Amino acid sequence: MHPVLFQLGSLEIYSYGVALVIAFLAGTYFAVKEAPKAGIEPERILDLAILIGVAAIVGARFYYVILNWSYYAENPIFIVTRGGGLVFHGGLAAGFLIGLWYVKKHNISVGLTADLAAPFVALGYAITRIGCLLNGCCFGVVSDVPWALPASFLDNALRHPTQLYASLSNLLFFGILMYLRDKKPFNGYLFVVYTGLYGAYRFIVEFFREGDLFLGPITLAQVVSLIMILVSLLLLKFWPWKQVTEAHEQ
Protein backbone atom coordinates (compact mmCIF):
# COMPACT_ATOMS: atom_id res chain seq x y z
CA MET A 1 0.00 0.00 0.00
CA HIS A 2 1.04 3.53 -0.70
CA PRO A 3 -1.94 5.80 0.08
CA VAL A 4 0.10 9.02 -0.14
CA LEU A 5 1.75 9.10 -3.54
CA PHE A 6 4.02 12.04 -2.76
CA GLN A 7 4.18 15.31 -0.84
CA LEU A 8 4.56 18.89 -1.97
CA GLY A 9 5.74 20.58 1.18
CA SER A 10 2.99 19.93 3.70
CA LEU A 11 0.49 19.00 0.98
CA GLU A 12 -0.12 15.25 0.64
CA ILE A 13 -1.11 13.94 -2.79
CA TYR A 14 -3.18 10.79 -2.43
CA SER A 15 -2.83 7.79 -4.73
CA TYR A 16 -6.57 7.25 -5.08
CA GLY A 17 -7.20 10.86 -6.05
CA VAL A 18 -4.41 10.77 -8.63
CA ALA A 19 -5.78 7.52 -10.09
CA LEU A 20 -9.27 9.02 -10.25
CA VAL A 21 -8.00 12.10 -12.09
CA ILE A 22 -5.94 10.01 -14.53
CA ALA A 23 -8.95 7.78 -15.19
CA PHE A 24 -11.19 10.76 -15.91
CA LEU A 25 -8.65 12.50 -18.15
CA ALA A 26 -7.83 9.33 -20.07
CA GLY A 27 -11.45 8.41 -20.62
CA THR A 28 -12.38 11.94 -21.65
CA TYR A 29 -9.41 12.27 -24.00
CA PHE A 30 -10.13 9.07 -25.88
CA ALA A 31 -13.88 9.67 -25.99
CA VAL A 32 -13.39 13.18 -27.40
CA LYS A 33 -10.88 11.82 -29.92
CA GLU A 34 -13.29 9.10 -31.06
CA ALA A 35 -16.36 11.36 -31.16
CA PRO A 36 -16.04 12.46 -34.83
CA LYS A 37 -16.00 8.82 -35.94
CA ALA A 38 -19.39 8.43 -34.28
CA GLY A 39 -20.69 11.62 -35.88
CA ILE A 40 -20.80 13.51 -32.57
CA GLU A 41 -19.28 16.93 -31.97
CA PRO A 42 -16.22 16.59 -29.68
CA GLU A 43 -17.34 19.67 -27.71
CA ARG A 44 -20.55 17.89 -26.78
CA ILE A 45 -18.61 14.90 -25.47
CA LEU A 46 -16.33 17.15 -23.43
CA ASP A 47 -19.31 18.89 -21.83
CA LEU A 48 -20.97 15.54 -21.25
CA ALA A 49 -17.83 14.08 -19.65
CA ILE A 50 -17.67 16.90 -17.12
CA LEU A 51 -21.34 16.50 -16.21
CA ILE A 52 -21.03 12.74 -15.92
CA GLY A 53 -17.84 13.05 -13.87
CA VAL A 54 -19.54 15.23 -11.28
CA ALA A 55 -22.74 13.16 -11.25
CA ALA A 56 -20.79 9.89 -10.98
CA ILE A 57 -18.85 11.07 -7.93
CA VAL A 58 -22.03 12.29 -6.23
CA GLY A 59 -23.89 9.08 -7.09
CA ALA A 60 -21.02 6.84 -6.01
CA ARG A 61 -20.73 8.72 -2.73
CA PHE A 62 -24.49 8.63 -2.14
CA TYR A 63 -24.58 4.86 -2.64
CA TYR A 64 -21.61 4.41 -0.29
CA VAL A 65 -23.39 6.40 2.40
CA ILE A 66 -26.54 4.28 1.96
CA LEU A 67 -24.49 1.10 2.31
CA ASN A 68 -22.95 2.44 5.53
CA TRP A 69 -25.97 4.33 6.81
CA SER A 70 -25.68 3.10 10.42
CA TYR A 71 -22.32 4.88 10.66
CA TYR A 72 -23.41 8.09 8.92
CA ALA A 73 -26.74 8.28 10.76
CA GLU A 74 -24.75 8.82 13.94
CA ASN A 75 -22.24 11.13 12.24
CA PRO A 76 -24.10 12.94 9.42
CA ILE A 77 -21.43 15.62 9.07
CA PHE A 78 -19.03 12.86 7.98
CA ILE A 79 -21.05 12.43 4.79
CA VAL A 80 -19.22 15.43 3.36
CA THR A 81 -16.17 15.69 5.60
CA ARG A 82 -14.65 12.26 6.19
CA GLY A 83 -15.11 8.49 6.33
CA GLY A 84 -15.03 8.64 2.57
CA GLY A 85 -15.73 6.02 -0.01
CA LEU A 86 -17.27 5.61 -3.45
CA VAL A 87 -19.28 2.74 -4.95
CA PHE A 88 -19.20 2.23 -8.71
CA HIS A 89 -22.81 1.00 -8.95
CA GLY A 90 -24.04 4.39 -7.74
CA GLY A 91 -21.66 6.29 -10.00
CA LEU A 92 -22.67 4.31 -13.08
CA ALA A 93 -26.38 4.85 -12.43
CA ALA A 94 -26.00 8.58 -11.77
CA GLY A 95 -23.70 9.02 -14.76
CA PHE A 96 -26.11 7.20 -17.05
CA LEU A 97 -29.09 9.27 -15.91
CA ILE A 98 -27.35 12.64 -16.32
CA GLY A 99 -25.92 11.46 -19.64
CA LEU A 100 -29.36 10.40 -20.84
CA TRP A 101 -30.77 13.80 -19.92
CA TYR A 102 -27.97 15.62 -21.76
CA VAL A 103 -28.11 13.65 -25.01
CA LYS A 104 -31.91 13.85 -25.15
CA LYS A 105 -31.74 17.61 -24.56
CA HIS A 106 -29.28 18.08 -27.44
CA ASN A 107 -30.89 15.48 -29.72
CA ILE A 108 -27.80 13.25 -29.80
CA SER A 109 -28.10 9.52 -30.40
CA VAL A 110 -28.44 7.76 -27.05
CA GLY A 111 -27.06 4.51 -28.42
CA LEU A 112 -24.07 6.05 -30.19
CA THR A 113 -23.11 8.08 -27.13
CA ALA A 114 -23.45 5.12 -24.78
CA ASP A 115 -21.30 2.98 -27.06
CA LEU A 116 -18.71 5.73 -27.37
CA ALA A 117 -18.40 5.94 -23.59
CA ALA A 118 -18.58 2.25 -22.62
CA PRO A 119 -15.01 1.11 -23.44
CA PHE A 120 -13.50 4.15 -21.75
CA VAL A 121 -15.64 3.68 -18.65
CA ALA A 122 -14.09 0.21 -18.39
CA LEU A 123 -10.61 1.65 -18.92
CA GLY A 124 -11.16 4.37 -16.33
CA TYR A 125 -12.48 1.83 -13.84
CA ALA A 126 -9.37 -0.30 -14.32
CA ILE A 127 -7.13 2.70 -13.62
CA THR A 128 -9.15 3.76 -10.57
CA ARG A 129 -8.87 0.32 -8.98
CA ILE A 130 -5.08 0.64 -9.03
CA GLY A 131 -5.66 3.67 -6.84
CA CYS A 132 -7.78 1.48 -4.56
CA LEU A 133 -4.91 -1.00 -4.23
CA LEU A 134 -2.45 1.75 -3.33
CA ASN A 135 -4.98 3.26 -0.93
CA GLY A 136 -5.78 -0.06 0.75
CA CYS A 137 -9.54 0.18 0.28
CA CYS A 138 -11.95 -2.28 -1.39
CA PHE A 139 -9.76 -5.10 -0.12
CA GLY A 140 -10.30 -8.83 -0.13
CA VAL A 141 -10.57 -11.44 2.57
CA VAL A 142 -7.53 -12.97 4.23
CA SER A 143 -6.09 -15.70 2.04
CA ASP A 144 -3.08 -17.97 1.57
CA VAL A 145 -3.17 -17.99 -2.24
CA PRO A 146 0.31 -17.46 -3.75
CA TRP A 147 -0.63 -14.01 -5.10
CA ALA A 148 -2.11 -12.70 -1.84
CA LEU A 149 -0.97 -9.20 -0.91
CA PRO A 150 -1.13 -6.89 2.12
CA ALA A 151 -3.90 -4.93 0.42
CA SER A 152 -5.84 -3.46 3.35
CA PHE A 153 -5.41 -0.25 5.32
CA LEU A 154 -6.67 -2.20 8.36
CA ASP A 155 -3.68 -4.50 8.78
CA ASN A 156 -0.78 -6.22 7.02
CA ALA A 157 -2.52 -9.57 6.60
CA LEU A 158 -2.18 -11.23 3.20
CA ARG A 159 -5.46 -10.95 1.34
CA HIS A 160 -7.07 -11.53 -2.02
CA PRO A 161 -6.01 -8.44 -4.04
CA THR A 162 -9.55 -7.82 -5.22
CA GLN A 163 -8.50 -4.39 -6.46
CA LEU A 164 -6.25 -6.12 -9.00
CA TYR A 165 -9.02 -8.57 -9.91
CA ALA A 166 -11.21 -5.55 -10.66
CA SER A 167 -8.53 -3.75 -12.66
CA LEU A 168 -7.57 -6.77 -14.78
CA SER A 169 -11.20 -7.73 -15.39
CA ASN A 170 -12.04 -4.27 -16.66
CA LEU A 171 -8.94 -4.12 -18.83
CA LEU A 172 -10.22 -7.32 -20.40
CA PHE A 173 -13.67 -5.76 -20.83
CA PHE A 174 -12.06 -2.72 -22.45
CA GLY A 175 -10.40 -5.00 -25.00
CA ILE A 176 -13.63 -6.89 -25.65
CA LEU A 177 -15.62 -3.70 -26.17
CA MET A 178 -13.02 -2.24 -28.53
CA TYR A 179 -13.10 -5.48 -30.52
CA LEU A 180 -16.90 -5.39 -30.73
CA ARG A 181 -17.13 -1.76 -31.88
CA ASP A 182 -17.45 -2.64 -35.56
CA LYS A 183 -19.50 -5.78 -34.95
CA LYS A 184 -22.36 -4.47 -32.82
CA PRO A 185 -25.89 -5.33 -34.00
CA PHE A 186 -27.36 -2.02 -32.78
CA ASN A 187 -26.26 1.26 -31.26
CA GLY A 188 -26.19 0.94 -27.49
CA TYR A 189 -24.97 -2.66 -27.67
CA LEU A 190 -21.54 -1.96 -26.18
CA PHE A 191 -23.01 -0.17 -23.17
CA VAL A 192 -25.46 -3.00 -22.55
CA VAL A 193 -22.70 -5.61 -22.86
CA TYR A 194 -20.51 -3.72 -20.41
CA THR A 195 -23.36 -3.44 -17.92
CA GLY A 196 -23.77 -7.22 -18.00
CA LEU A 197 -20.04 -7.93 -17.86
CA TYR A 198 -19.58 -5.58 -14.94
CA GLY A 199 -22.49 -7.15 -13.09
CA ALA A 200 -21.07 -10.66 -13.62
CA TYR A 201 -17.55 -9.65 -12.57
CA ARG A 202 -18.78 -7.81 -9.48
CA PHE A 203 -21.04 -10.64 -8.38
CA ILE A 204 -18.11 -13.07 -8.51
CA VAL A 205 -15.46 -10.85 -6.94
CA GLU A 206 -17.73 -10.04 -3.99
CA PHE A 207 -17.13 -13.59 -2.72
CA PHE A 208 -13.48 -12.62 -2.22
CA ARG A 209 -14.08 -9.14 -0.73
CA GLU A 210 -14.59 -8.11 2.85
CA GLY A 211 -18.18 -6.98 3.30
CA ASP A 212 -21.41 -7.37 5.21
CA LEU A 213 -23.95 -9.93 4.07
CA PHE A 214 -27.31 -8.54 3.01
CA LEU A 215 -29.56 -11.37 1.87
CA GLY A 216 -28.56 -14.82 3.06
CA PRO A 217 -25.02 -15.51 1.82
CA ILE A 218 -24.83 -12.55 -0.59
CA THR A 219 -24.05 -8.87 -0.23
CA LEU A 220 -26.07 -5.86 -1.35
CA ALA A 221 -23.55 -5.29 -4.14
CA GLN A 222 -24.29 -8.80 -5.41
CA VAL A 223 -28.01 -8.12 -5.40
CA VAL A 224 -27.43 -4.97 -7.44
CA SER A 225 -25.08 -6.90 -9.74
CA LEU A 226 -27.75 -9.53 -10.41
CA ILE A 227 -30.17 -6.73 -11.27
CA MET A 228 -27.58 -5.28 -13.67
CA ILE A 229 -27.18 -8.66 -15.38
CA LEU A 230 -30.94 -9.05 -15.71
CA VAL A 231 -31.38 -5.52 -17.04
CA SER A 232 -28.59 -6.01 -19.58
CA LEU A 233 -30.18 -9.23 -20.84
CA LEU A 234 -33.53 -7.48 -21.18
CA LEU A 235 -31.95 -4.53 -22.98
CA LEU A 236 -30.20 -6.81 -25.44
CA LYS A 237 -33.69 -7.89 -26.47
CA PHE A 238 -35.64 -4.69 -25.92
CA TRP A 239 -33.12 -1.78 -26.21
CA PRO A 240 -35.60 1.13 -26.51
CA TRP A 241 -33.55 3.27 -28.88
CA LYS A 242 -33.01 0.67 -31.61
CA GLN A 243 -35.58 2.26 -33.86
CA VAL A 244 -34.63 5.91 -33.38
CA THR A 245 -30.84 5.96 -33.62
CA GLU A 246 -30.79 6.00 -37.42
CA ALA A 247 -32.87 9.17 -37.54
CA HIS A 248 -30.51 10.87 -35.08
CA GLU A 249 -27.42 9.80 -37.01
CA GLN A 250 -28.45 11.26 -40.37
Q: Kindly report whether the global pTM for this prediction surpasses the value 0.75.
A: yes
pLDDT for 242: 62
- Phi then psi dihedrals of residue 235, to 5 deg: -70, -30
Q: What residues does each domain of the chain span? A: 4-175
DSSP string, 212-235: -EEETTEEHHHHHHHHHHHHHHHH
pLDDT for 249: 43
Residues of the chain with pLDDT under 50: 243-250
Contact call for residues 239 and 170 (beta carbons, < 8 A): no
pLDDT for 248: 42
Give the tens place of pLDDT for each residue, 59-70.
888 877 887 777
The CA distance from 173 to 122, in Å, is 6
